[in-house]
Amino acid sequence: MIRSRIVGTGQCLPEKILTNHDLEKMMDTSDEWIRQRTGIGQRHLAAPGQGASDLGAPAAREALENAGIEPGEVDFIVCCTTTPDYLFPATACLIQDKIGAKQAAAFDVSAACSAFVYGLATADAFIRCGMYKTVLVVGAEVLTNRLNWKRRDTAVLFGDGAGAVVLRAEEDTGHGVLTTYLGANGAHSEILTVPSGGSVKPFDESPDDEERVAIYMKGPELFRQAVAAFSLAAEKALEGTGVSVDDLDLFVPHQANTRIIYSASDRVGLDRGKVYVNIERVGNTTAASIPLALDDAMKEGRIKTGSHVLLAAFGAGLTWASALVRW
């Protein structure tokens, strides 16, 4: 049996940092409110003209270097993003060119904050069916140019960045991606959306469109859905694996809000010391959040060979997703 194993991780954050105190000067908010309600202290901001592929490519390169794999060995690139460089071509194609992965097929996955785990599940399926041996899964976002800076309910939440993992096919030794679980409910699509710029309401440069091309969110409703979906996704990933909550070494959730993360981990009975949180430094980076957190956790030595790592995400769509990995 073939399994896919994560053999390298990497990340890229833009240089510019916007702190909560900077935001206090821009809108009616406070560092205290943002920290208490979300856990966020700062976020990174892409430079004008810097696209998701400009962050995704260095993250992919670092993941390949850490894995000791040449770009030419990559068979397939999945880019997970809600903020692609263009409507088309796919951002994955731009990353393919930037890193020189000439042999790789490439496409994007759109599942908002759950996209990285959707992408991981896609890559894992391609590897286990024998189609590809080496796959890059990149989460890359430039969300700060999708914000209405007059709206404090969303402007304080999101940040830019990219994270990447390299998956490699291996004969099964019990290590690698053990399970993936994906879910969706399109009936609640309106509670987190960018209403304009797609085929229903193309961007028309009217003053109203400035509002509609920005992220619109019904925060409290999403909060309730998120806690339930996170808990369900976490339980589903463990189902039938023989791995219990107590066996987990690290939970790496989508970094949406520390209150959501800890409510969900308390619900599934997970010790808070095993929950990885980096939202204070980077904010909510949507599809980039889990690979960024994974790379931080690797660099801090929180993940070792044999560690059981649970990933879980929730986001627009609605979508939710989880994966259990034995490192």
Q: State in angstroms the smallest separation of the CB of 217 from ligand UT7.
A: 7
Q: Could you give the CA distance from residue 86 to residue 75 in angstroms, rounded to a whole number?
A: 23
Q: Which one of the listed residues 66, 257, 278, 284 is annotated catalytic?
A: 284
CB 268 within 8 A of CB 235: yes
Is residue 226 involved in binding ligand UT7 (CB under 6 A)? Answer: yes
Q: Which one of the listed residues 254, 257, 278, 308 is annotated catalytic?
A: 254
Residue 47 neighbours by CB under 8 Å, 6+ apart: 14, 15, 16
By C-alpha distance, which of 133, 40, 45, 140 is closest to 84?
A: 140
Q: Which residues partner with 320 through β-bridges? A: 183, 314
Is residue 156 involved in binding ligand UT7 (CB under 6 A)? Answer: yes
Is residue 219 involved in binding ligand UT7 (CB under 6 A)? Answer: yes
Is residue 197 involved in binding ligand UT7 (CB under 6 A)? Answer: no
Is residue 315 involved in binding ligand UT7 (CB under 6 A)? Answer: yes
308 counts as catalytic: no
The total number of residues written for the chain in this structure: 327
CB 288 within 8 A of CB 147: no
Transcribe 65-106 into DSSP letters.
Answer: HHHT--GGG--EEEEE-SS-SSSSS-HHHHHHHHHT-TT-EE
Q: State in angstroms the smallest separation of the CB of 65 from ligand UT7.
A: 29
Give CA separation, 319 vs 41, 183, 295, in Å: 26, 6, 23
CB 98 within 8 A of CB 57: yes
Site string for ligand UT7, 83-122 (x = CB under 6 A): ------------------------------x---------
The residues in 250-269 that bind ligand UT7, with binding defined as CB under 6 A, are: 256-257, 260
Instruction: Work out the angle between the directed axes of helices 31-38 and 258-267 (0-180°, nearest 10).
Output: 20
175 counts as catalytic: no
79 counts as catalytic: no
When the beta carbons of 96 and 285 are compared against ligand UT7, the nearer one is 285
Which position among 2, 17, 24, 29 is part of the footprint of ligand UT7 (CB under 6 A)? 29
**Is the backbone peptide bond immediately before 89 cis, with ω within 30 degrees of 0?**
yes
Which position among 24, 35, 37, 50 is part of the footprint of ligand UT7 (CB under 6 A)? 37
Is residue 207 involved in binding ligand UT7 (CB under 6 A)? Answer: no
Residue nearest to ligand UT7 (CB): 219
Q: State in angstroms the smallest separation of the CB of 232 from ligand UT7.
A: 14
Which position among 220, 240, 242, 273 is part of the footprint of ligand UT7 (CB under 6 A)? 220
Which position among 107, 223, 262, 327 is part of the footprint of ligand UT7 (CB under 6 A)? 223
Block residue for tokens 């993992």: 165
Q: Which one of the listed residues 12, 79, 93, 113 is annotated catalytic?
A: 113
Parallel, antiparallel or unpaired: strands 250-253 and 308-315: parallel
Q: State in angstroms the smallest separation of the CB of 97 from ligand UT7.
A: 29
Q: Could you give the CA distance from residue 73 to residue 68 in angstroms, rounded to a whole number?
A: 10
- Note the residues at the interface with ligand UT7 (CB under 6 A): 29, 33-34, 37-38, 113, 152-153, 156, 219-220, 222-223, 226, 256-257, 260, 284, 314-315
User: What residues are annotated to the active site?
Assistant: 113, 254, 284
